[in-house]
Structure 1
Amino acid sequence: MKIKNNMTVRIIIALILGIAVGSIFNLFAEADWVKGINQYVFNVLGQVFLNLIFMLVVPIVFVSIVLGVVGVGDPKLLGNIGLKTLLFFLTTTALAIIIAMVLASVFKPGEGKTDLLQSNDVKQYEQEQKAKAKEAEEQGMATEQTFDQTLINLFPKNPIQAMATTNVLQVITFAIFIGVGMIALGDKVAVVKTFFEQVNEILMHIVMMIMKYFAPFGTFGLVATAFTNAGFGAIKQLFMYFFIVLLALLIHMVVVYGGAVKLLAGKSPVWFFKGFAPAMTVGFSSSSSNATLPISLECAQDNLGVRKEISSFVQPLGATINMDGTAIMQGVATIFIAQISGVDLTFMQLVTVVIIAVVASIGTAGVPGVGLVMLAMVLTAVGLNPAAIGIILGIDRLLDMSRTAVNITGDAACAVIISEREKRKLNRTAAH
């Protein structure tokens, strides 16, 4: 089931139409007829498409990880692949935030814009966060999660509940245990292995049906509603911030990912980006790594020739812990907010930003808007007012789309690199 080029073309046309129509509608955003079309047409098209994709996320993650673990076969090799994957993700996330902070320090997007801190957006955001914190306190919920709690939460008490609440990390942990158990039992559970393989075929067939019949309409709806709500008004005011985030994302994708694919996998970056383009367009429109996962797996396996067991293990893991695009936003936003606040961050504070952003990316859900939660944590750690996040809220939805496209591209790059290197290792072994 190859992803056809004409499908990619249709999705890209839908993207362009969504941007154009949404930008025009934004000029009349206060009109009742625009609000009606946005709510009952654009929003419905987008949310139905997202729901159809999210419907498959948990079963695909679970089945893919199980088959990936079984396909690798050797638990030692699985551990080796897991460590390489984690190392790649942590390294590229650190590089991403460093690139972002260097660009923000050079271009100084926040210089001379102290008046932004007095805006209603900041006050409104602060009030909303206080209300949320009060509600969490009343319900006895922790507003911040400690490191030990993060480790404990990797392991589900109830795997069914983890699936029901889309706790992807816990689903992955449970799937790894199932996969290792199936390896240990071998031929005794051949029927179970066949069952998982057949379920996987069914899920992938449903994915292709959704992409064929719903993707262009859903993409148009998601992008049109994003641009109708945000438009280019907010971009004018925050142009330098917007520009630097996009520039950092572009540099990271082309230089870091393209360079890694060339140097570590020996493959052409052009071939890589062309093969993964369909998933990138869906990632852009959905703003969700998890929602894009089914199409990402299909692109990596069919278009890029990644071994199924490696793709099935690396990419679901990446959708959960690889947040390079989000790290870039945090790097630029931290420097930007420090500049408009008149604060010069010390070298150690900058190092703190890098470490927190890298660590926080592990276990962060791959859903729209989660980057802002992580950013609040980073700002608090270096003594900046998290309420300043209100300034960038207006354009964050547009940047979130670009960040997601970068995040999933990093997952695919890692899968290609590990697949090619494992292939070379097998060839060398066979030669001896």
Structure 2
Amino acid sequence: MPWYKKLHWQIIIGLVLGLIWGLVSTQAGLNRFTSDFIRPFGTIFVNLLQLIAIPLVLASLVVGVTKLNDITKLSRMGGKTIGIYLVTTMIAITIGLISVNLIKPGNALPEETRMELLESYQDNVTDRQAAAEQTMQRGPLEPIVNIVPQNVISSMSSNANMLQVVFIAILLGIALVQIDPGKSAQLVSFFDAFNDVIIKIVDYIMLMAPIGVFALLAAVIIDLAGDDLGRAFELLRALGWYSIAVLLGLLVHMHLVYFMLFKIFSTMKLRNFLRGIRPAILLGFSTSSSAATLPVTMERVEKNLGVEEEVSSFVLPVGATINMDGTSLYQAVAAVFIAQAVGMDLSIAQQLTIVLTATLASIGAAGVPGAGIIMLVIVLNAVQVPVEGIALILGVDRILDMCRTAVNITGDAAVAVAVASTEGKLADGRFDD
């Protein structure tokens, strides 16, 4: 197959062309045209991915549970999944703290720039703080309570309720295993066929991927730059060291932690893993949504990495909801950066508080764009850093959100490989591009 027909190259070409068009649009005064006639194709692409996320999780997880035929395997797999997710999240936060303490980006921010940023984004901070206050008012067991839905239809009405869908699917799968096989066979066959149909729809949607990512990145550029491209470059330069601290931490985590994860739990090489999962990573980067990318992540993990369906259909939906390695690392860097910028020195105890708070906050962060900022408010309140300091980072948050979402998705897939390997459910992937 020629290189230009491979999906990941088509996505990369779409990203590059989207970047170029966004820059041209800003300079030529075409932002209104881009917003009215190009952005909608990105929105349609993301909507299509979100459309099939819940049906895919429901069908594949029911089929996966019925194939296990042993409830103890399911509980063992669940314990491994959540345990590895929590450990990698805490390591990510620690890496973020090391990065920001070594680089000290807050000390390099000029006073004039700091005051300008605080004034420019103050209105956005108020909205995020109100959303975070609603989250903090929940009881300590509220996340567990929210897993059990009151209504099947309402739980499937939003991708933010993915854990509820996982609960329903597991409950249905267990019940099918427990009843007479003669009665359950038809329903299991239905879900199996339904799952194949959804996978085929994923293939159709991915035909639109290059156009979708082109439109998404063009929209990001015009949102960032507006009508003044020079101001965007000034903003990036002012927050350059902060961005470097985040990106450095993400790169170290992706290559070091996942390399060690495969060394301990699997024989898969990190290079082969990244090669097999790259279309999902690129889509996560362009959409900034773990939930929207979930159908592609599941398909690539099963097809390219050899993870059996009964593992991927459980590990990945749970990961898209509670495993936020990239987001947690970013929260650690952002909290310390804001503290440095306002002249606060965080003690070791306060930085350990960031580790604990960011880990717990990541469990409640929805896999949608911008959720990390809301969780950051909780982290800042925990260490008495002024919440208003969020205004300092909002200017570059959209770009960093794309990067940390790519790491979130990579982490979900890496844990799926590790769990599958320990369960003897990891076959040889074909790495079909």
TM-score, length of structure 1 as denominator length: 0.91
- 1:83 is paired with a residue of what secondary structure? helix
Aligned length: 415
Q: Which amino acid aligns with 1:85?
A: T
Correspondence for 1:76: 72
Residue 156 of structure 2 aligns to a residue whose secondary structure is helix
Match of 2:93 among 88, 93, 97: 97
2:165 pairs, out of 149, 161, 171, with 171
- Indicate the residue corresponding to 1:46 in structure 2: 42
Task: Give, in whole Å, the separation in 2 of the partners of 1:52 and 1:156.
Answer: 25
Alignment partner of 1:59 out of 42, 51, 55: 55
SS where residue 95 of structure 2 aligns?
helix
Cα distance between partner residues in 2 of 1:327 and 1:135:
18
Q: Distance in 1 between matches of 2:172 and 2:44?
A: 32
Q: How does 1:196-345 map to 2 (within 5 A)?
A: 196-212=191-207, 214-231=208-225, 232-233=232-233, 234-345=235-346
Q: Distance in 2 between matches of 1:80 and 1:172?
A: 16
Measure how far apart 1:37 and its partner are.
2.2
Q: Give the counterpart letter for 2:6 in structure 1.
A: N
Correspondence 1:148 to 2:141: yes
SS at match of 1:343: coil
- Kindly indicate whether the alpha-carbon contact (under 8 Å) linking 2:236 and 2:396 is maintained by their aligned counterparts in 1: yes
Q: Residue type of the partner of 1:152?
A: V
Greater CA deviation, 398-407 or 255-264?
255-264
- 1:269, CA displacement in angstroms? 0.8
Distance 1:116 1:391, change over 3 A: farther
Matched, 1:180 2:174: yes
2:393 and 2:112 mapped to 1: Cα distance?
10
Contact 2:41 2:215 in 1 (8 A): yes
Aligned match of 1:106: 102
The structural deviation recorded for 1:179 is 1.3
Q: Does 1:358 align with 2:368?
A: no
Question: Displacement of 1:220 after TM fit?
Answer: 0.5
Q: Distance in 2 between matches of 1:285 and 1:364?
A: 19
Contact 1:43 1:222 in 2 (8 A): yes
Secondary structure class of the residue paired with 1:230: helix
C-alpha distance in 2, partners of 1:58/1:180?
19
Secondary structure of 2:107's match? coil
Deviation at 1:5, TM superposition (A): 6.6
Deviates more, 1:8-17 or 1:37-46: 37-46
Equivalent pair of 2:42/2:212 in contact (CA under 8 Å): yes
**Does the 8 Å contact 2:132/2:375 carry over to 1?**
no
- Partner SS, residue 423 of structure 1: coil
Paired with 2:128 and 2:15, the residues of 1 have a C-alpha distance of 34
Instruction: Please identify, of 184-193 and 353-362, the stretch whose mean Cα deviation from structure 2 is larger.
Output: 184-193
Secondary structure class of the residue paired with 1:362: helix
Any idea what SS the aligned residue of 2:384 has?
Answer: coil
Q: CA 1:84–1:184 in 2, change beyond 3 Å: closer, same or farther?
A: same
Note the C-alpha offset of 1:73.
Answer: 2.3
The alignment's TM-score, normalised by the length of structure 2, stands at 0.90
| Structure 1 unaligned spans of 5+ | 427-432
DSSP 3-state at the match of 1:250:
helix
* Alignment pair present for 1:157 and 2:150: yes
Structure 2 matches for 1:112-131, cutoff 5 A? 112-113=108-109, 115=111, 119-123=115-119, 125-130=121-126
Instruction: Go from structure 1 to structure 2 and tell me whether the alpha carbon gap of 1:308 and 1:240 turns closer, same or farther (over 3 Å shift).
Output: same
Q: Deviations over 1:113-132 (max 9, x none)?
A: 26268535434544445467
In structure 2, do the counterparts of structure 1 residues 24 and 388 end up closer, same or farther at CA, with 3 Å as the change threshold?
farther
Q: Give the C-alpha shift of residue 71 in structure 1.
A: 2.5
**Contact residue 118 and residue 392 of structure 2 kept, 8 A:** yes
Deviation at 1:391, TM superposition (A): 1.5
Please give the per-residue CA displacement for 1:91-145, whole angstroms capped at 9, x wherever unaligned. Answer: 00100010011010001001042626853543454444546777999xxx77632
Please state whether the residue corresponding to 1:12 is helix, strand or coil: helix
- Give the AA of the match of 2:185: A
- Which segment is superposed worse, 60-69 or 188-197? 60-69
Deviation (angstroms), 1:265: 0.4
RMSD: 2.3
Q: What SS class does the counterpart of residue 111 from structure 1 fall into?
A: helix
Match of 2:228 in 1: none
2: CA distance, partners of 1:290 / 1:134: 24
Residues 381, 134 of structure 1: CA spacing in aligned structure 2 closer, same or farther, 3 A cutoff? closer
1:306 & 1:45 partners in 2: Cα distance? 32
Question: Unmatched 5+ residue regions in structure 2?
Answer: 226-231, 428-433
Q: Does 1:12 align with 2:6?
A: no
AA aligned opposite 2:139: T
Match of 1:430 in 2: none
